Structure formats: C-alpha cells, structure tokens
C-alpha cells in the first residue's frame, strides 16, 4: 500500500523522489505490460465479507473470497464458496464409502441499479467426487484477484484452486482460471511438494510449461509444479499469459500438514 507522508518539507521531498522513481520505472515498462498493483488499482476492488453480500444471492457452501468493484459493465460482485466434504453415499470401485467436496465461483452484475435484478456475468463449479481417501478441494488462500490487465475498462477475475484424493503425499492438481467478459483462459497441472532436504524447486517461467519441454512419461516430471499447456491463452490480450504464469508460480508450492 502506498505510504502517506507527513506534510513537512522533508516528507514532501521524499514523496517527490518516490514519484520520480515510479515515473522512471513506468517509462521502462513494455507498453503491453502492467503490474498487478496497477491493474488492481484500475478497477479498485473492495473486499467484502459474507454478511455484505446481497440477500438475493443464492449459493451453496461457505463464502471464502468476495470482491466488489465498478467497471464499464456496471457494479460487480464476485465471490467464491466451498462446500466442505460430505458423505455422498456413492460406493467407489472397491465398495468404499466416499466423500465429495465442491467449489463454486460467481460473478454478478447489478441491473437497473438494483441487486434484486442482478444478472449473471460468469459462474464456475468444480469438485472432487466420491473420494475414499484424504480429500482436498480448496481455493488457494490469497490467490483470487480482480484486475484490468489490458486496461480496457472491463475487469478480469482470477481464481486458483487445488483438488486431490490421495492416501500419500503426492501433490494436488491445481487449476488457474482467468475470465474476462465471459471468455475463460486456464492453466492446469500439479503443485509441487517438498519431500525433504534433497528436494529442490527449480521451476520458473522458462520451464513451467510441460508442453515446451522434451516429452517425458516420468511421474516426477509430470507432478513437478508445472502445467500441461498454454493453448488456452492463444489469442488472449497481451499480458494475460505472463500474469497467469507468474500467479501459477506464486502459489504452486504445496505444504502438506
């Protein structure tokens, strides 16, 4: 968050210097690149609690993240909800009792100045179904964002979440969804788990895309913190893929309790 300095001469000079450095940095940026902070400030999303959501919204589960903002489409609210694992009475292939957990995301736009008349901008559902082992179905804390990366006055919504049904310490699957104006871009792969002192995380922007690496059937390569492909971002506005790739790397390391 930008610091606010006391209205004194020394503070004014410091503010001046800070402003000059910022301007210089902006001049060096590529025209089609924008920082997350700048993209966020273009739409100024405000965090909401579950009690702040209009009573007309119908959804399942417990609210995790909620944001409100205004852009060219009007006044918007986006939120995620999680349905905790429950017994689904569905026997698996080995006749074991399983549990199901569900994830939801909703984007609503106020219509005619009234939340009673909202329209659906976008929604998403995913789940881990009939798992007889340890089940994971969660939005990754802190990863939901509202930005305007292409500076077109319409916000993008980004969520990342993990899914798994496991009886060991193998990594969860991870999905990243970036949506703008009902157009969805996605990355899918696996998180990375630190198995011990000899484990080393060496995934970066140049090797995070499995499709760009030499073909391998090694489970270690596949379950290595990388995603399968960037094909979904073909034709995406400039900056979308770079942002998604960086966000993938930011949240890809999984800590198993």
Domain boundaries, given as residue ranges, for the chain: 31-254
- What pLDDT band is residue 23 in, cutting at 50, 70 and 90? very low
- What pLDDT band is residue 27 in, cutting at 50, 70 and 90? very low
Q: What is the pTM of this model?
A: 0.82
pLDDT per position as a tens digit, 163-221: 999 999 889 999 999 999 999 999 999 999 988 777 789 999 999 999 999 887 777 77
pLDDT per position as a tens digit, 91-128: 555 567 899 999 999 999 999 999 998 999 999 999 99
The first and second tokens of residue 208, run together, are 């995070």
Work out the angle at residue 202's Cα, subtended by the Cα atoms of residues 207 and 144, and round it to the nearest 5 degrees.
75
CA distances to 37, 119, 120 from 75, in Å: 21, 11, 12
pLDDT per position as a tens digit, 55-70: 999 899 999 999 999 9
The whole-number pLDDT of residue 183 equals 97
34: nearest Cα among 151, 155, 180, 205:
151
β-strand pairing of 156-166 with 134-139? antiparallel
The whole-number pLDDT of residue 33 equals 54
Mean pLDDT of the chain: 85
Sign of torsion over alpha carbons 16, 19, 20, 21: positive
The torsion defined by the Cα of 114, 116, 117 and 122, in degrees rounded to 10, comes to 100
187: nearest Cα among 173, 175, 204:
175
* Neighbouring-strand partners of residue 164: 136
């Amino acid at each position: 968050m930008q610091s606010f300095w006391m209205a004194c001469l020394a503070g004014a000079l410091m503010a001046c210097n800070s402003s000059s450095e910022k301007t210089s940095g902006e001049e060096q940026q590529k025209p089609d690149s924008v920082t997350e902070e700048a993209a966020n400030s273009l739409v100024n999303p405000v965090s909401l609690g579950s009690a702040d959501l209009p009573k007309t919204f119908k959804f399942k589960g417990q609210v995790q993240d909620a944001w409100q903002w205004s852009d060219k489409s009007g006044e918007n609210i986006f939120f995620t909800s999680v349905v905790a694992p429950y017994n689904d009475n569905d026997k698996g292939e080995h006749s074991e009792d399983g549990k199901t957990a569900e994830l939801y995301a909703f984007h609503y736009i106020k219509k005619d100045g009234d939340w009673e008349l909202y329209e659906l901008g976008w929604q998403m559902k995913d789940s881990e179904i009939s798992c007889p082992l340890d089940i994971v179905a969660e939005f990754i804390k802190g990863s939901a964002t509202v930005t305007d990366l292409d500076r077109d006055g319409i916000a993008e919504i980004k969520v990342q979440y993990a899914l798994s049904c496991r009886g060991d310490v193998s990594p969860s699957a991870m999905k990243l969804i970036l949506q703008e104006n009902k157009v969805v871009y996605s990355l899918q792969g696996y998180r990375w788990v630190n198995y011990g002192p000899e484990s080393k995380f060496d995934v970066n922007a140049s090797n995070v895309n499995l499709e760009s690496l030499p073909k391998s059937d090694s489970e270690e390569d596949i379950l290595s913190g990388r995603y399968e492909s960037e094909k979904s971002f073909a034709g995406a506005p400039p900056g979308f893929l770079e942002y998604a790739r960086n966000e993938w790397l930011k949240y890809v390391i999984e800590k198993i309790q």
